Amino acid sequence: MSSKLKQQASYEATFAHNFWKQTLSRVPAIPAGIELAGKTVLVTGANVGLGFEAVRNFLRLRPSLVIMGVRSVNKGEAAAAALRREFLDARIEVWELDMESFRSVQAFAARAERELDRVHVAVLNAGLGKLKFERVDEGGCHEVTIQVNYLTTALLSFLLLPKLRPTTSSSEPGRLSIVNSGASLGLSLEDPGDGRFLDSFDRAEKFNGFGQYGLSKLLIMMFVAKLAQTINPKEVIVNCTDPGATKGTEFFRSVNSWIMSIALRSFMGIIGRRTADASRIYLHSSLVLGEESHGSWTDWIIRAWPKTMYTDQGHHMGERLWDETLEELKFARVEEKL
């Protein structure tokens, strides 16, 4: 488990380690014998990039049903049509999911509650990075990166728990893997003092796009570590999965500087993995790794948490984040899902 890897945390946060991991290591193949017959797989952000390739990788294991959660149903159906041509017997459904909206997340989860007997595997892949400060138009009007990468992802995690839990004592635990990023590894959180912790990320004057993205991913890792303490891994195994730097995705699609765009594409061209390879990491986290990965940071093995999470300050901030998150999401009665 990541909780036991404190001694590795500093090294795993270094550029040298991550450059080595990106350029010299290869994502292992999925072991033979893993099949998904009779099972339902759910992937968010599934019509492009890593999400789309993850669906393709899951379909090779012949699940009974794949749910593609997408913001645009038209684009999702076009992606699903391409997959149906490749996997002729596949059963694929496209469901609308706007991660900027609490209401959309609730509607998505309510549909799962109504229409699905069970979700066996859920990969929460939808995410974004914004280089300019923007607020969502709903709820507490949070900055959009924090809303999408943290708050609505946490909300969907809570709301899917009942469907992820096994229906009989002999059933395997459900799998919940939330996509994370090495951008969080060297970061720490500032104590906002008497103010609300979550509100401290909504200040335009302190906004930095790349920094905010990394912080949003640190928040979700802290959330997963705490969530894992509250749920039984015999029922649901939850972890974070890190695909690493990946070429050919639409991430940071909001970049409007041609210089920045060229720089990012050039960097990804040097160290980025192919989406087909990077998305296979999702399957390692959600199918290959077992109960030992509960609450952990993973790719094809278990990695150390961001080093701040091993400190007293990091532990304190994680507890505070958890309490504020439960308060923020109380409108959805999330504590009843635990």
Report, as residue numbers or ranges, the catalytic residues: 213, 217
Phi first, then psi: what are they for 258, rounded to 5°? -65, -30
**DSSP letters along 94-162, please?**
EEE--TT-HHHHHHHHHHHHHH-S--SEEEE------SS--B-SSTT--BHHHIIIIIHHHHHHHHHHH
- Please enumerate in sequence order all residues whose Cβ is within 8 A of that of 1, keeping only pairs 6 or more positions apart, or say none: 292, 293, 294, 295, 296, 302
- Strand bridging mode 297-298 / 302-303: antiparallel
Distance CA 305, CA 297 (A): 6
Distance CA 87, CA 84 (A): 5
